[in-house]
Chains A and B, each alone.
Chain A
Amino acid sequence: MEYEAVIGLEVHAQLRTDSKIFCSCSTSFGADPNTHTCPVCLGMPGVLPVLNERVMELAMKASLALNCTINPMSVFARKNYFYPDLPKGYQISQYELPLAEHGWIEIETEEYGKRRVGITRVHVEEDAGKNIHGGPDDPHSYVDLNRTGVPLIEIVSEPDIRHPEEARLYMQKLRMILRYVGASNADMEKGELRCDANISIRPKGSTELGVKTEIKNMNSFRHVQRALEYEIERQIEAVEAGERIVQETRLWNVEKGITESMRSKEEAHDYRYFPDPDLVPYVVSDEMLERVRSELPELPDAKKERFIEQYGLSSYDASLLISSREMADFFEEAAAACSSPKAVSNWMLGDLAGHMNADGADIEDLRFSPKDLARLVTLVDEGKISGKQAKEVLTVMYREGKDPDTVVKEKGMEQISDEAALIEVIKKVIAENPTEVEKFKAGKKKVVGFFVGQVMRATQNKANPKVVNQLLVKLLEEA
């Protein structure tokens, strides 16, 4: 029997604020344990949360970019459970009335084409801390509350995803959008983007939903895809073997490459959600919504279409150039400063990408400006340097951050196109090779190549070969 998977993703993204959601502690990563804490995020008796407005602005930006409708009123709720990394004994989240609902993002695969994945809701919540367990000789556990109260949004998708590859693409697209609008750095390695998946299988063509499992701990795009591929196989094998799928939470074991049962439905928490009486409902005015909307940058899909239209790029090249806002901006600035956007694109996606990939560098790390790249393109266009030389110049630009004119000068690369200068050299070469001149006169036109080689050697390859060719024929005929 042929099966199809039904996948929904719950993604947590850390919002890019300097301070936490309900206190003024820093959100920066990597500090010594419990140094970014205060009575509020430590959950001390009697303290109260005060909402950081910046959090809601970023969450709204993200929601709008995900095509969601912002609810005029959203309500913070308490999610109650005991765990040492949760100092209040509850997490402040949103439940019945989330900030935003009913969005979608579009993904495209070669195999399955363009598809829309629905977004059920986006809600705002605080992060928990981190438990650290002592080593084999240390029976203690420790708690680091630096992360407690760091602002997150949870983005819950509809069960619209059918293939593990689509799940990966959804995550990547989501990351790109969040980064575009500046809502999140979405760095998976730093845990700024985390993903849980709900997954079930059913016979292809069926509209009923199977029993789902929840997969946690997939901390890279690759692992999202691999974990889901594994889980689909596991579920199919189980069903084929006549077993029943149990509703449970499973952990992706990176080392073993398998998912493992963590807890069953019966062990699930009753979170006893209720509206947090310490916070008032969050009301979004039309003015506020309009302001946030007006601050949204051009989003990736729109940018891609425009790049194809405006610069005549291929869909593939455009999609690479818009992969980050910085990359796209770099391209546009360079394209504006020269007359060949296509050439800029080729350089960026060719040699420059090669350098950057080799170093694991980002566009932000470049030591030269978009104008410098534009200048390089112009130098080639105007015949000042050859394409081969340009590659060399770009390497120096990339390594040393020098502008192309400086590199060309330092390397003595300018082509000699000046006719007067070249005529002198050519005359000298003709005078030195009377035998070859006779051959030319006898009709052996091929010897022109010999003369070109001589001129190039005499000019250390700086002569413009096109100009040399023209002049040589003329002067040989006159000789």
Chain B
Amino acid sequence: MDGFFTISEAKAMFEKGEISPAELASKVAEKIDKVEGKVKAFVNTYCDEMLDKAKGLKEPKTPLWGLPIAVKDNICIKGKETTCSSKILKGFIPPYDATVAERLSAAGYLLVGKTNLDEFAMGSSTENSGLFTTHNPWDLSRVPGGSSGGSAAAVAAGECVAAVGSDTGGSIRQPASFCGVVGLKPTYGRVSRFGLVAFASSLDQIGPITRTAYDAAYLLSVIGGHDPRDSTSAKVEPFSFENAVKEGVKGLVVGIPKEYFSEGLDPEVKEKVEGAISQLEDLGVRVEEISLPHSPYGVATYYLVATAEASSNLARYDGVKYGYRAEGVKDLMEMYLETRSKGFGDEVKRRIMLGTYALSSGYYDAYYLKAQKVRTLIKRDFDKAFETCDAIVTPTSPTPAFKIGEKMDDPLTMYLSDIYTISVNLAGIPAVSIPCGFSSDNLPIGLQIIGRPFDEETILRLAHNYQMVTDHHTKIPPCGGE
């Protein structure tokens, strides 16, 4: 496992003096040199800066002291280009830090680079990136998932020790599942959204992508917590890392929603997920079949709510203030039209149009308002399930990673890739994806564990206990390991 580190391993090695931050940073930089040309996880890397900073690190050891971490390129870092993988923001350098970036800095992290994503986080494969497509380290002909595909691929290939991504409908969990790593979408309001370039404000949430559940819990304890700069940030008890990783899972009740195991689910995925469920039972977890009756409406609801919000959130990219502006236009209207036609990619434009339509007068009640009502019903399904369950277990995605180009001509099929993750965002609850086995093509398969609002501790405890008795998360992908 040379060149692959978890946060906890690196910290232990620092503690014992087995490796210095500068040595760790060079190993990461070497790995990037070796694999980045094939994986293409990063929009920008900052290896020289990382090495310099690693050399200059002073004691005492802060929580992320000397740890090379990658950040999705829709999270603003002061003085660093933030593109959202969009031509319209190419060259945009924010004069401010996202709260998450500020907390990572304060904890002493080393920024490896900004990772690729589907443009403005709209997509499930990074193929919608306005810059380039990231490749899955397990099979370079396949997608890494998305939208946080760059972050997941970078963690899988060992190009960083951990990463942060954002999840609006599965954008952390689905790529984590495709790349064989751990991805946590925290409860809405757990992590500040300040400085996260908005896609769908009521659904977006930043979270960790790591090699282990233990690391995810650790990283969440650094980036989570109330932020006065985000009005939707929750004032709740802080997340307890200790509670998440110290205790066992005996006696916990886990619900298996029957709607998540019906048609469209790949048989291999089904088999591995069911295998994981029996392993949880072996750990003393009680398993119970449940129903989430409104699940079938999740995707439709999501594509009204998310696109409506996106149509408004993306209005600011108009060529007036920053980013791309079309040249040689004759008037204001033409500047708007040309800038936005050329600056945005097809999927972004498709969603802006969908959302604009859903909010238009005469259609608002039938689409946006109806979707908000269904959203409430979906949330109630979960509330009801959590009356008897401590967590819910499902597949993360219906299939393992698909081929690059396979679904690009069919947006609807692409949307179904998030069918199991989307409802969690609509309900605002936390969920984690962990590797639970491999397909016959040696592609990782992900298990999703969904929790009660602000109960990341229980789902991470389940994930951590599972990883203590399994080794799927220790497997190294062909690209990166070679």
Contact = CB atoms under 8 A, between A and B. Distances in A.
Interface of A: 39, 42-51, 78, 80, 82, 84, 87-90, 141, 143, 270, 272-274, 277-280
A419 to B, nearest CB: 78
B312 A43 contact: no
B194 A48 contact: yes
Nearest to B82: A45
Contact of B361 (A47, A51, A270): A270
18 contacts: A44-B94, A44-B96, A46-B94, A46-B196, A47-B194, A50-B229, A50-B230, A80-B311, A80-B312, A80-B315, A80-B359, A89-B316, A90-B312, A143-B320, A270-B360, A277-B201, A278-B198, A280-B231
A47 B89 contact: no
A39 B231 contact: no
B360 A272 contact: yes
Interface in B160-190: none
Given A49-B231, A278-B201, 19 more contacts: A39-B94, A42-B321, A45-B76, A45-B82, A45-B92, A45-B197, A47-B96, A51-B231, A80-B315, A82-B336, A89-B318, A90-B312, A90-B315, A143-B321, A270-B360, A270-B361, A272-B312, A272-B360, A280-B231
A42 B320 CA distance: 11
The 8 closest A-B CB pairs, nearest first, are A89-B315, A272-B359, A277-B202, A277-B201, A45-B197, A46-B197, A46-B195, A43-B316
B95 interface: yes
A84 B95 contact: no
B213 to A, nearest CB: 28
A279 B193 CA distance: 12
B336 A272 contact: no
Interface of B: 74-76, 82, 84, 89, 92, 94-96, 98, 193-198, 200-202, 228-232, 308-309, 311-312, 314-316, 318, 320-322, 332, 336, 356, 359-361, 364, 368
Nearest to B319: A84
Contacts of A50: 228-231
A89 B313 CA distance: 8
A44 B84 CA distance: 13
Contacts of B321: 42-44, 87, 143
Contact of A88 (B89, B94, B309, B316): B316
A46 B194 contact: yes
A301 to B, nearest CB: 38
A277 B360 contact: no
B232 A277 contact: yes
A363 to B, nearest CB: 41
Contact of B318 (A44, A48, A82): A82
Given A46-B194, A80-B312, A277-B232, A272 B322 contact: no
A126 to B, nearest CB: 14
Nearest to A141: B332
A336 to B, nearest CB: 47
A274 B308 contact: yes
A47 B94 CA distance: 10
A50 B232 CA distance: 10
B309 A277 contact: yes
A280 B232 contact: yes
Contacts of A42: 321
B97 to A, nearest CB: 10
A47 B195 contact: yes
Contacts of B92: 45
A346 to B, nearest CB: 55
Given A84-B320, A274-B312, A277-B309, A48 B336 contact: no
Q: Which of B98, B194, B312 has the most CB of A within 10 A?
A: B312
Contacts of A46: 74-76, 82, 94, 98, 193-198
Contacts of B75: 46
A42 B314 CA distance: 14
A50 B364 CA distance: 27
Given A50-B231, A84-B332, A45 B193 contact: no
Contacts of A44: 94-96, 321-322
B94 A45 contact: yes
Nearest to A22: B231
A88 B232 contact: no
Q: Which of B74, B202, B320 has the most CB of A within 10 A?
A: B320
A46 B202 CA distance: 13
Contacts of B82: 45-46
A141 B335 CA distance: 13
Contacts of A80: 311-312, 315, 359
Contacts of A270: 360-361
A48 to B, nearest CB: 5
Nearest to A88: B316
B89 to A, nearest CB: 7
Contacts of A277: 200-202, 232, 309
Contacts of B230: 48, 50
Nearest to A276: B201
Contacts of B74: 46
A272 B356 contact: yes
Given A43-B321, A90-B315, A48 B228 contact: no
Nearest to B314: A89
A278 B231 contact: yes
Given A90-B315, A280-B231, A272 B361 contact: yes
A278 B232 contact: yes
Nearest to A270: B361
Nearest to A274: B359
Contacts of B96: 39, 44, 47
A405 to B, nearest CB: 57
Contacts of A51: 231
B83 to A, nearest CB: 10
A476 B189 CA distance: 101
A44 B332 CA distance: 20
Q: Which of A49, A143, A274 has the most CB of B within 10 A?
A: A274
A39 B236 CA distance: 28
Contacts of A273: 359
Contact of B89 (A39, A45, A48, A89): A45
A82 B309 contact: no
B193 A48 contact: yes
A279 to B, nearest CB: 5
B357 to A, nearest CB: 10
Contacts of A141: 332
A280 B202 CA distance: 11
Contact of A82 (B231, B315, B359): B315
Nearest to B96: A39
A280 B356 CA distance: 22
Contacts of A89: 312, 314-316, 318
Nearest to B194: A48
Nearest to A49: B231
A8 B73 CA distance: 50
A78 B360 CA distance: 13
A279 B360 CA distance: 21
A78 B92 CA distance: 25
Nearest to A269: B361
Contacts of B228: 50
A88 B231 CA distance: 18
Contacts of B229: 48, 50
Q: Which of A45, A51, A273 has the most CB of B within 10 A?
A: A45
A159 to B, nearest CB: 22
A77 to B, nearest CB: 10
Contacts of B356: 272
B361 A45 contact: no
B459 to A, nearest CB: 25
Contacts of B94: 39, 44-46
B84 to A, nearest CB: 7
A263 to B, nearest CB: 14
Contacts of A272: 311-312, 356, 359-361, 364
Nearest to A90: B312
A156 to B, nearest CB: 19
Contacts of B318: 82, 84, 89
